[in-house]
Structure 1
Amino acid sequence: MKDFNRKKLTTTSKKTGLILGLLLISSGGAFAQSTLSETASSDFFLWLILCLEILLISIGLVLIFVVLRVNTILFQEETPEGEPVEEKSIFEILSEKLTGAVPIEKEDDVLTDHEYDGIRELDNNLPPWWVGMFYVTIVFSFLYVGYYHFFGGTLQEEAYENEMAEAKVEVEAYLAQMSDLVDETNVETLTDASAISSGKTIFQEKCIACHGAEGQGGIGPNLTDNYWIHGGGIKDVFKTVKYGVAEKGMIPWEAQLSPAQIQEVSSYILSIVGTNPPNAKEPQGDLYQPEGEESADAATGDTGNSSI
């Protein structure tokens, strides 16, 4: 009866120490998790919370060790008189407590009657570290469900949408930065509807006074034909818009338009080539024929109109 009570008290003290220590550790982790998101903008509070987390974990580990050590001292087995008491190191004690392994000389106490092909089964307890982790997962599950489903935590779907929105803003900022690096040496014709629409808006605000609302020409040359005074490629048009033509009265637009805007209006100008609006101005400049393409004017004999 005495041995039974001792064993029961020993088991109770072990479980009490483990549960108290693990609850302290898990509560410290939950506290740090919920607080870090609120204090991430402050380095001082971030380091303070991390230090508090480490302190709570350390206290939990020390508490577990103290309870196990006291348990070993109070309930160590009695040895027959005359036999030396075997002293164990702290590491040996911790190993025994964490694994819960039964010494080989005491395996008969946990031997079952299950036998197969000469192999007998031992009725060992689950390792305390495994049981402790199981308790931690239970505590963590309650904290996780409570935080994310009842106290305003961001769920995965919402977090994904927020991250995608942030990524979209970053991509747009990056593309805007890259578009401002374009110049007459690397510019390319834009064909997407949004860019053409932006270029049309710029054209209507800056260019119709000289080139007409439909690009048919006025003070300036017609922009809808295949004849160009300063070249009809995207790089030529970009350069003309950017630096202007002082002797013809066209101002440089580089001080008022960004490189991306100049690219957009230049692409719009090329998109209206061949529209043949009414009252178009007479041809000016030279016929422009893109490389690898046969000019429609050359095939039909049409002299077309003029351009910048």
Structure 2
Amino acid sequence: MINLYNPQIFSSIFSILFTAFLLGIIHGFTPDEHTWPITFSYSIGSYSTKGGFKTGLLFSAAFTFQRAIASELSYFALGKILTRPDVMPIIYIFVGIVMSFAGAYIMGLGNNFELFKGIEHNLSKFLKIKSHPKNGNDESRPIPIYMVLLHGFIAGWGTGAFAIIIYTVLAPKMPNAYTGFLPGLLFGIGTMVTQIIIGMLAGRFMERLKVPKKGIAYIAKRTSGLTLFWGGLAFILAAILEIIFPELILLGFITPIKIHNLHTLGIGFFLVIFIVLFVMITSFIKSLKYVKNHNMEFTA
């Protein structure tokens, strides 16, 4: 039986690669700050099952490419460098910048943002970003493909329990340099499977809202834009705190669940809670309420 929590003994190369694939599937389904907030945000912004499929595929494809590169580097004994705890805050900063930029690009700041009105209004002036009109005729900017790909590639460099297993246990067991990338590739493909499913479910959920099509588009863009923008700032803040207080990186609560991302609940888990449960759900409820209260604007 394969030990997915602490894999050490393998009977063949196939068992190593199959373990990597299964770890990828688990990684995609568990609350992870490098995948969930980003996939949910972009998928909701696409507001369709097809769009969610495309988003999950693109994001995880870039993520898979990164993991294959990192796996190859780990074969050459660079895994310890890639999994250094002090690398995580740097990744958080880059991920946060891309998330916030994507959110601002999609939405525009100022009148369009109402989660934290005062802060957002001042930011719009400081950054000189023009806001879109707040009505049903607002043609919000589509999410550029390059943003999804860039986000997936950058997010992949984040390290956690799954990455440590790939880089320090599985990749070094490959027989030669020509196969060193395979554990990362299979792990990425496993994650891709679950991210596509999550993306499609998020897109399907938006399709089934009983509001006019323009209203769905309005809700989708506002929810994804707000989530990406404030989620990105949360990543940056978490990184700054980890740099100032390094002990936060290793701080966490232990649970009896022997599944990575669920056994030790650290700062990454609470980032997911803040971004997905607070920002995303709050933004969605506010946007849905606005559409229902101004139904005529979205049926005209």
Asked if TM exceeds 0.5, the reply is no
Bigger Rg, which one: 1
TM-score scaled by structure 1?
A: 0.22
Higher relative contact order (CA 8 A, sep 6+): 2
